[in-house]
Amino acid sequence: MARIAFLGLGRMGVLMAGRLLAAGHDLTVWNRTAAKAEPLARQGAKVAEDPAGAVDGAELVITMLADGDAVDEVIFGTGAGAAKLAAGATVVEMSTSGPEAVRNLRAKMPEGTTLVDAPVKGTLPQAEGGTLDIYVGGTEAEFAAVREVLSVLGNPVRVGEIGAGASLKLVVNAITATVPVLIGEAMALADRMGVDAGTAWDALAASAVGGMARRVREQTADDGQPITFSLSLAAKDLRLALEAGAAAEGVIAAARRELGAAEQAGLGERDFSAVVTHLRAQD
């Protein structure tokens, strides 16, 4: 069993760390807001006071944080992990941070340590059930070294060299974060034309975007609960896609503007389906 440090116990991280613990790994966790570590402590995880304390002696350091800036701060900032990384340690960066950030992080890694990108597709049920798709970027040897541990969390696949996983994740989330905006505009159109909302939802559920329409319908009907993926993280993913080269005047850019407007309206911490309600409320 591996000695693992897990940094970042947000909605996804706490579930992923719980699986590693249940699989018998020697797990030390850290989160900026310490209270989020309590459920894992009750299950037997060691809880560190800072990232350096968590990383000390770990073979693998998993980061599941909001974005690349947060990972940079936690690994290379004051009181951060890098100074305590053991020789041969690997950082497995599982947040959605984009290829530029992971390449920059890798370039800063201390001699004798390394970093791979391993962002995930799937949300809370997949994190809990260990069925995430995991897109790994790194060498064949680095993939071989992390594969067994990542298999506890889902299905790891090596998609190329460093940054390849982060790139693929932006491609996938360009769809995931854009489609709810499209659905919101379609529902706003239905409202304006006087189409019964239930009838419109049923029709969208049977359309090409049926899976997302069903998910968004349920969440908006239940006042955006449970929050699975925050609107601000969805907006961040489209910002990263644009920075990585998505068409500046295209559909993804338009969706990013709408998510940005919803954030400005104070919906950043709501579930990303809140963009639908926001768009339907426009005159």
230 binding ligand NAP? (CB under 6 A): yes
Residue 282, C-beta contacts closer than 8 angstroms, at least 6 positions apart: 188
For ligand NAP, the binding residue among 229, 240, 252, 255 (CB under 6 A) is: 229
Full 3-state SS string of 198-231: HHHHHHHHCCCCHHHHHHHHHHHHCCCCCCCCEH
65 binding ligand NAP? (CB under 6 A): yes
Nearer to ligand NAP, 190 or 263 (CB): 263
64 binding ligand NAP? (CB under 6 A): yes
Residue in 265, 225, 277, 241 with CA at minimum distance from that of residue 98:
241
Nearer to ligand NAP, 32 or 46 (CB): 32
Q: Cα dist. 55→7, 134, 271 in Å?
A: 9, 22, 32
Nearer to ligand NAP, 60 or 240 (CB): 240
CB of 18 to ligand NAP, least distance (A): 13
Cα torsion angle, 231, 233, 237, 240, sign:
positive
Residue in 77, 2, 94 with CA at minimum distance from that of residue 32:
77
Q: Which residue, judged by CB position, is nearest to ligand NAP in the bound state?
A: 10
Q: How far apart are CA 268 and CA 179, in angstroms?
A: 17
Binding mask 153-182 for ligand NAP (x = CB under 6 A): ------------------------------
37 binding ligand NAP? (CB under 6 A): no
Nearer to ligand NAP, 113 or 123 (CB): 123
Candidate segments 30-38, 157-165, 246-254, 274-282, binder of ligand NAP by CB under 6 A: 30-38
Residue type, 42: R
Q: How far apart are CA 55 and CA 83, in angstroms?
A: 9
Residue type, 192: R
Residue type, 247: A
Candidate segments 18-26, 69-77, 102-110, 183-191, binder of ligand NAP by CB under 6 A: 69-77
74 binding ligand NAP? (CB under 6 A): yes
Residue 233: helix, strand or coil by DSSP?
Answer: helix
For ligand NAP, the binding residue among 55, 91, 120, 174 (CB under 6 A) is: 120
32 binding ligand NAP? (CB under 6 A): yes
Contact footprint for ligand NAP (CB under 6 A): 8-13, 31-33, 36, 64-67, 70, 73-74, 95-96, 120, 123, 228-230, 233
